[in-house]
Amino acid sequence: MGLVSDGKKAVALVRKAVRNRSAVIDVRRTLAARPKHPPFQYRVAVYFADGAVNMYQMRQWYKPLADLAKTWPVVVLSRSATGAEALLHDDALPVAFVPTVRDLERFIAKQDIRVVLYVNQNTRNFQMFRYGRRWHVFINHGESDKMYMTTNQYKAYDYAMIAGDAARERLTRVLWDYDIERRTIEIGRPQADHYSGTLPYTPDERTVVLYAPTWEGDRPSAHYGSIATHGEALVGALLATGRHRVIYRPHPRSGVVNHEYGAANKRIIAALSAANTADPSARHVFDDGPELGWQLSAADVAIVDISAMVYDRLAADKPLMITRPADPAAAIDTHGYLSACEWLATEDAADIVAQTERVLGDPEAVARLEEWVTHYFGDTAPGAATARFHGAVQRLMDDWDSWYARSVADTEDDEPEDEAELDDES
């Protein structure tokens, strides 16, 4: 078994190397055909060291960043070939492919980047932290109560932009000696001002259920995924009624670690296809597109795992249920919304029709939802979060000007006086 395992790993490594080399060639060819980046054009950079598999972390920021770029030009610093390839294909923001530290140094030397934004905790972020005289700011790729949201890595950044009071309480509770007042800036969820996408069906009398599970996780404490434990049962029950429409949006990494999880994902997709073939009017949706928005607003009820999707849906202010992890080792933070949410246990998955009807018919749940929306995101009026995001960047730019002026003054004070001045003093 060991030899077989080693052989599979070797084949996977070779395939990865070939894929990366192909991506490098494609990226360089694409960039060569485009105009070069103007010198000293960009004030804001988004540092992204991940490959294509984690592009969902970038894509949700495209529209807020494009809007910000109207005031402060933005460029994405891409370290991975497959990530750069995907970024260039999406063509949402200017991209600089900087695979080596030397490439990175050369690029930023010709720009005036004052704020660097980070959407994740890739270990290669530290290769960018070495550059001072600019603000390094963690903006994350979603809001949730997962343990990822309280990692001590927050301390590595100059600032963190957070959603609201819930994030502030979460960080205060877990991080030691962290100046929460000075180093965090509340912005809400700017992505909610830029929901996009076209409804792929004509609305009718069917109850629309969004099932958006996360991936299986790479360690027991992060085993939040429900595809293999809840997914097949609940989707099967909804498909059988003839009264429901399922929008199935699995996490892009589903099945990356666990083969059985990936197999269950494929079976659900096949079941949706078969149901549409049997009844074309059903128009069930398998959604693997880059845009997130229409799914949240179209669904009458959402079923999600412990993930950022809980809070994406929470911001939409509509009914939702959360799958309770089957693995008892999965870490659950019950200090926030998860202490008052509507849980869906594994044994109740097949009874999902009755469960959704209960949630949809509960007026008290609506009132509770309003309170939690405000607690997590503050003012959710259209445009409010975008205004806070722009205001946060403006504040950092103003602070940059102050610190730069101070550093110039300190440098001048350190310079030796000329001989004439010395003679006058003597």
pLDDT computed for residue 32 by the predictor: 96
Give the pLDDT confidence score for residue 421 in this predicted structure: 41
- Check whether 313 has a pLDDT greater than 80: yes
Asked if residue 419 has pLDDT above 80, the reply is: no
User: What pLDDT is stored for residue 422 in this prediction?
Assistant: 36
Q: What is the mean pLDDT of residues 28-48?
A: 97
Q: What is the reported pTM? A: 0.79
- DSSP secondary structure string, 263-313? HHHHHHHHHHHHHHHH-TTT--EE---S--BHHHHH-SEEEE-SSHHHHHH
Q: Where is 183: in which H helix or E strand?
A: helix 180-183
Whole-angstrom distance, CA of residue 209 vs CA of residue 237: 12
Helix count and strand count (H, E) for the chain: 16, 13
d(CA 6, CA 245): 44
Question: pLDDT-derived band of residue 402, with 50, 70 and 90 as boundaries?
Answer: very high
Tokens read off for 377:
């995101």
Lowest mean pLDDT segment, chosen from 246-255, 315-324, 325-334, 415-424: 415-424
CA distance 107 to 190: 29
- Counting every residue written for the chain, the total comes to 426
Q: Which residue has better confidence, 210 or 314?
A: 210
On the question of pLDDT at 417 being above 60, the answer is: no
In angstroms, what CA-CA distances link 105 with 93, 100, 128, 213, 401?
20, 9, 9, 39, 22
Reported as a single tens digit per residue, the pLDDT across 110-151 is 999 999 999 999 999 999 999 999 999 999 998 877 777 899
> b/e string for 70-85 if b means 16 or more Cβ within 10 A?
eebbbbbbbbbbbbbb
The predicted pLDDT at position 423 comes to 40
Residue 47 pLDDT: 98
Give the pLDDT score at 7: 61
pLDDT in tens, 159-211: 999 999 999 999 999 999 999 999 999 999 999 888 777 899 999 999 999 99
- Confidence band of 369 (pLDDT split at 50, 70, 90): confident
To the nearest whole number, what is the mean pLDDT of the chain? Answer: 91
Q: Which two tokens stand for residue 296?
A: 């949240």
Band of residue 395 on the pLDDT scale cut at 50, 70, 90: very high
CA 182 – CA 137 distance, rounded (Å): 13
pLDDT of residue 10: 66
Highest mean pLDDT among 11-20, 34-43, 401-410: 34-43
Mean pLDDT of 357-378: 88
β-pairing verdict for 320-323 and 343-344: parallel
Characterize the bridge pairing of strands 207-212 and 135-138: unpaired
From the list 328, 357, 367, the residue with the least C-alpha distance to 345 is 328
Q: Residue type for 184, please?
A: T
Report the percent of the chain where pLDDT is more than 70. Answer: 94
pLDDT band at 308 (very low <50, low <70, confident <90, very high): confident
The confidence score (pLDDT) of residue 94 equals: 98
Ramachandran assignment for 202, one of left (phi > 0), alpha (psi -120 to 50 degrees), beta (any other)? beta
pLDDT at residue 41 in the model: 97
Instruction: Of 191, 269, 257, give the one whose Cα is nearest residue 231.
Output: 269
- Give residue 290's pLDDT: 77
Provide, rounded to the nearest whole percent, the portion of the chain with pLDDT above 90: 73
Report the distance separating Cα 332 and Cα 188, nearest Å: 23
Residue 292 CB: number of other CB atoms within 10 A? 20
pLDDT at 11: 62
From 283, 284, 319, 287, select the one nearest 304 (Cα to Cα): 319
3-state SS assignment for residue 199: coil
Predicted confidence band at 414 (pLDDT cuts at 50, 70, 90)? low
Cα gap 251→232, rounded to integer Å? 15
Q: How many CA atoms lie within 13 A of 110 on its CB side?
A: 11
Give φ, ψ of 146 to 5 degrees.
-70, 155
Query: How sure is the predictor about 362, in pLDDT bands with cuts at 50, 70 and 90?
Result: confident
Tens of pLDDT, residues 78-97: 999 999 999 999 999 999 99
Q: Is the pLDDT of residue 425 over 60?
A: no
In angstroms, the CA 388 to CA 396 distance is 12
